[in-house]
Amino acid sequence: MNKRYELLIFDWDGTLADSIGRIVLAMNSAAERAGVAPSSDDAIKGIIGLALGEAIATLYPHLDTAQVEVFRQYYAEIYMALDQEPSPLFEGVVESLEAFRAEGYRLAVATGKARRGLDRVLKANGLEGYFDITRAADETRGKPHPLMLEQILAHCRVEPQRALMVGDSAFDLQMASNAGMHSVAVGYGAMSLAALSEFGPQVCIDHFSQLREWLAASRTHSKVGEHG
């Protein structure tokens, strides 16, 4: 089957998993424990996707390295307590991932989560076997640096123009652009579609199942172009 894209790469928080609310709560609870002012929901959503230490330093630039590390530990403890039952996957995610695999797509995850946290939620959701490769922020360069995507592309032996990054943050879309890849913006996570549209996604969706519809239409269009 001819496909315009061979490899689909997904962010986790806010793209596959409905976890943004917990991240906001954990970040402000950690701020309270660390003795710093809480941030607005929008400010916290604006750093989701970054590696945790970088996210904290961006929100609280007056903190030194040691203070950021203490804050990071507080956040990790609080988030783990909140996430004893992992955040649910968005509607349509499991069915769509199963369909993508049946249709022959390669699948991957590129996340700002740490490896330990990613492995935990993959196992809890029964998704360990769904992805060809997963990359976490503490084992490579963080978003929007393209290294995470470059490692995935190399592992899968797929050219950038044949891969698609799906994410809910500016960092996801910037990372894709930095890697020479196309992207899809989802509007039900950290950032609005109005904000994400500025970063040049191929398409904007507000429900995960729309990705499958768009890919099917894109594939059909590609075939018509080949034979027209």
Annotated active-site positions, please? 11, 13
Spatial separation of the C-alpha atoms in residues 81 and 83, rounded to whole Å = 5
Spatial separation of the C-alpha atoms in residues 151 and 128, rounded to whole Å = 19
In the β-sheet with 133-135, what is the strand arrangement from edge to edge? Answer: 133-135, 106-110, 7-10, 163-167, 182-186, 203-205
Nearest to 59 by CA among 76, 43, 75, 72: 43
Residue indicated by tokens 């995935």: 152
C-alpha atoms less than 13 angstroms from C-alpha of 27 in its C-beta half-sphere: 25
Spatial separation of the C-alpha atoms in residues 143 and 179, rounded to whole Å = 11
**Mutual orientation of helices 20-34 and 65-82 as an angle, nearest 10°?**
130
Q: Is the Cβ–Cβ distance between 144 and 46 less than 8 Å?
A: no
Q: Is the Cβ–Cβ distance between 20 and 48 less than 8 Å?
A: yes
What residue type is assigned to position 216 of the chain? Answer: A
